[in-house]
Amino acid sequence: MRPRLLYGSTIFSGSLLLFLIQPMMAKAILPWFGGAAGVWACALFFFQAALLAGYAYAWWSTRHLAPRAQAAVHLLLLAASLLLLPLTPGAWWKPTGPDDPTGRIVLLLARSIGLPYFLLAANSPLVQVWFARRVKPAFPYRLFALSNLASLAALLLYPVAVEPLLPVSVQLQWWSAAYAVFAVLAAASAIVGPFRRPEPSLAETSPAPQAPPTPAGRLLWFTLAACPSILWMASANTLSQSVAPIPFLWILPLGIYLLTLILCFDRDGWYRPAIYRFLLPAACVAMGWCAGDRGAGMDIWWTIALFAAALFVCSMFCHGELARRKPDASRLASFYLTLAAGGAAGGLFVAILAPNLFDGFLELPIGVTMCILLAVALLYGVRSTRRLVRLTLFAAAGFVAAVQMDARFTQTQVRVRNFYGALRVIDKADVRILANGAIHHGAQFLAPEKRRIPTTYYGRATGVGRAIAALPEGPRQIGAIGLGTGTLAAYARPGDDFRFYEINPADIQIARTEFRFLDDCAGSVQVVPGDGRLSLERDTAARFDLLAVDAFSGDAIPIHLLTAEAFRLYLERLKPSGVLALHITNRYLNLAPEVLALAANAGISARVVTNPPDADEDVYESTWVIARRGGASPPSPAVRVWTDDYSNLLGAMK
C-alpha cells in the first residue's frame, strides 16, 4: 500500500471508530445510572480526557523516542488493546445507592475502553507527524480535516443507520471487529512511519521554520479550543435536560463542532472575520434566548435549529481564529496537544465543575460570555489589557446580577443542582412549585386548608387519580417511581402504604423540607433512594395495587423505564389485579405508541387517558397510560418494541 493511502486509511478508520464508540458506550451504560443527562456529560468528559492523554502520548513519543522505540512501544500497546476485545461494560459497575455516580462512570469507561480509545485518540496526531517527516510539512493539516471528516461521518451514521437498526450489544461486537482491522493498519503505519525521512525534493522547498509560539500565544490556542468545547457540551446538556438524553441531541452539537474544525482547517477561505463581526452577536443572543425560560415554549425543531445555527457561528469564529494561528508542521504535536487540553478543560468545566459550583445551568451563559470576550479582542480590535480586564469584570458583574434578579423576580425559595439536574422551589401566588428548568414537577397550595389537594399532573380527573379512585376498598399498597413533591401521598387513607422510589437525593430533601405531602400523609409513607428500576429489582417483597411510573428529569424520560424488561419487572411487582400507570405528558415526544406496544408485548390491556386543565385546583392537562392484566392491547406492526438493548427516541419526537 502506498504511504499516502496507508496514512489516510489509518487516520480515517481511527477517527471513524473514535466517534462511533462514544454514543455506543454512553447508551450502553445510560440505564445503569437513571437515564440522566449527566451520564452523557460525564462520558464526554472521559472521552475528552482520554483524547488529551492520547495527544500527550503522541507529542511525547515523537519528541523523546527514537524511531525504533516509537514503533516498538506503539506495536506493544496495539497488541495489548486487542486483548480487551470484544468490548463489554461489566454489570458489576451498576450503582447500589443514590451517591453521585460521576467517579463510577469515569472508572467504568476507563476499565472498559480506556486503552483502545487512548490509541485511537493518539492515532491522528501521531500519523500526521510521521506523514510530515516524509511529505511536505504544510500538508498534514489537510489530514487533520480528514480526521474530523471521518469523525463527523461517524456521528451522522450513528443515529441514522446504527442506532435504529442494531441492538447495543451487536453494535459493540461490530465495533470490536472493526477495531481489529484498524489495529492492523495502525501497526503497518507504525512500522513504516518513524523510519521514513522527508523526500529530498520536498524538504528543500519547505518553508522556513516559524518562531516558537509565546506563552500568550499558547494560552490563546488553549482558550480558543476551550470555548467551543464548553458551548457544544452546554448546548447538548441543555437540550437533553429539556427533551431526553438521547444520542441525537449530543451528536448534533458535536457534529457542528467537528464541521467547523473541518471547514477552518481545510482551507482559509471558509472563515472570514468581516462576516462574523455581524453574525456573532446575533448568534449569542439566539443561544441565550433558546436557553432561557422564554424559549421553553418554542417548537422543539425551531429550538434545535436555532441552537445549531448559533453554535455553528460561535464555533466557526473560535476555530477560524485557531486556524489563522496554526504553527508549521515542526510543532504539530504540540499544537494538537494544546487544542486537546483546551477541549478537555471545557469538558471538565461542564461535566464536573459546573454541577458542583452552581445551583443552576450557568455553563452555557458563561461559554457565551467567554466567546464574546474573545471576539472583543480578536474581531473588534480591543487590544488593551486594561480594557479587556474591565470588560471581563463588567460581564461577570452583569452575569451575577442577572442570576440574582432572576431568583428575586421568580420568588425562588431554593435552588439546588447535582448530577441529576437543577431544581428550584418557587412561590407563585398561593402555590409553591417544584421546577426543573421550565418543567413543573409538582405543586402544593400554601393555605393549610388546601394543602392536601392533589395538583399538577395528579389531580382527581387525571389518569392516575381515576385509577386510584377505582381501587377496591381496604388498605392499599401504592408504589411510585419518581417522587417529585410527593403529591400522590395526598390520596392516602388510614392503613394505606405508599412507597416512593427516587434517584435524586436533592429531590428527596426538598420534598421533605419544602412541601408537606409526605408529612401530611394519612397512611404510612416510605421513600427508597436510588434508581427506581434497580430498587424494584431488589425490593422483591413489594406487591402493589397500583404502581405509578413518573420519573421525569426536566421534560426527559429515562428510557430504561420504558422497555420490555422494565414492563416484566413492573408486572412482577403488581398484585394480580394491580394497575400500572405511566405518565407520558411531554412537549416534545409522543410516547403513546411505544407504551401501547410495550403493553401489547407484555400481554396486558392499556388505554390512554387525558384530562383538561383545572385552574381552581392547579391541575394541568396531562396524559397517562393505564394498563392492567386481563385482555391485551392489539400489537402495532409499525412500532418496534423497545428493549434494554434497543430504543429509538428520535423516532418518537413530535
Query: Taking the domain 424-652, which CATH number applies?
Result: 3.40.50.150
Reported as half-sphere exposure (CB side, CA atoms, 13 A), residue 39 has a value of 26
- At residue 199, the pLDDT reads 44
Q: Are 54 and 124 in contact (CB under 8 A)?
A: no
Q: How confident is the model at residue 217 (pLDDT cuts 50, 70, 90)?
A: confident
**At what angle are helices 332-348 and 215-242 packed, to 10 degrees?**
40
Average pLDDT over all residues of the chain: 82
Q: Residue 609 phi/psi, 5° resolution? A: -120, 125
CB neighbour class for 323 (10 Å; exposed up to 12, middle 13-18, buried from 19): buried
- Decide which of 134 and 114 is more confident: 114
Mean of pLDDT values over 445-456: 93
- C-alpha to C-alpha distance for 238 and 229, rounded to whole angstroms: 14
pLDDT digits (tens, 9 = 90+) for 6-59: 888 888 899 899 989 988 888 888 777 766 667 777 888 888 888 889 888 988
Spatial CB neighbours of 505, under 8 Å, sequence gap ≥ 6: 98, 418, 529
Radius of gyration of the chain (CA): 27
Residue identified by cell 399538577 is 456
Please indicate whether residue 155 or residue 11 has the higher confidence score (pLDDT). 11
CA atoms of 267 and 548, how far apart (whole Å) = 56
Same fold, 1-199 and 216-409: yes
The string of DSSP codes covering 229-291 is HHHHHHHHHHHHHHS---HHHHHHHHHHHHHHHHHHHH-GGG--HHHHHHHHHHHHHHHHHHH
Q: Residue 498 is which amino acid?
A: F
Q: Predicted confidence band at 90 (pLDDT cuts at 50, 70, 90)?
A: confident
* CB of 102 closer than 8 Å to CB of 42: yes
Asked if 190 and 78 count as a contact pair (C-beta separation under 8 A), the reply is yes
Count CB atoms within 10 A of the CB of residue 616.
7
Sequence-separated (6 or more) residues with CB below 8 Å from residue 435: 423, 424, 425, 426, 441
Cell numbers found for residue 223: 482558550
Class of domain 1-199: mainly alpha
Averaged pLDDT, 382-397: 61
Collect all residues with Cβ–Cβ distance below 8 Å to 176 and sequence separation of at least 6: 85, 86, 87
Q: Which three cell numbers stand for residue 147?
A: 480526521
- DSSP for 623-650? EEEEEESSS-PPP-TTSPPPBTTB--GG
Of 507, 420, 508, 489, the residue nearest 451 (C-alpha):
489
Q: How confident is the model at residue 206 (pLDDT cuts 50, 70, 90)?
A: very low
Are 32 and 557 a contacting pair, CB within 8 Å?
A: no
Helices (H), 499-591: 505-513, 532-538, 564-573
Contact 273, 189 (CB under 8 A): no
Of 15, 43, 44, nearest in space to 29 by CA:
43
Residue 295 has pLDDT above 60, yes or no: no
> Strand 431-436 and strand 439-445: pairing?
antiparallel
DSSP state of 95: -
Highest mean pLDDT among 105-109, 136-140, 390-394, 605-609: 605-609
Query: What cell was used for 615?
Result: 385552574
Measure CA 259 to chain center: 19
Q: Is the pLDDT of residue 138 over 90?
A: no
Helix axis angle, 300-324 to 273-291, nearest 10°: 140
Domain borders along the chain are: 1-199, 216-409, 424-652
Q: What is the pLDDT of residues 219-263, one digit of tens each?
A: 999 999 999 999 988 888 877 766 555 667 777 888 898 889 888
CA gap 103, 33 in Å, rounded: 12
Quick check: 69 pLDDT over 60? yes
pLDDT digits (tens, 9 = 90+) for 260-290: 988 887 777 788 888 988 898 888 888 877 6
Measured CA distances, 171 to 41, 117, 174, 589 (Å): 21, 16, 5, 25
State the amino acid at position 301 in one-letter form: W
Query: Is the pLDDT at 461 greater than 90, yes or no?
Result: yes
Q: Which three cell numbers stand for residue 324?
A: 489563522
How far apart, in Å, are the Cα atoms of 225 and each of 257, 284, 406? Answer: 11, 18, 31
d(Cα 208, Cα 138) in Å, to the nearest integer?
11
Give pLDDT tens digits for 579-598: 999 999 887 778 889 999 99
**Among the CATH numbers 1.20.120, 3.40.50, 1.20.1250, 2.40.70, which is that of 216-409?**
1.20.1250
Lowest mean per-residue pLDDT among 259-268, 469-478, 517-526, 531-540: 259-268
> What's the pLDDT score for residue 394?
60
Predicted pLDDT of residue 325: 85
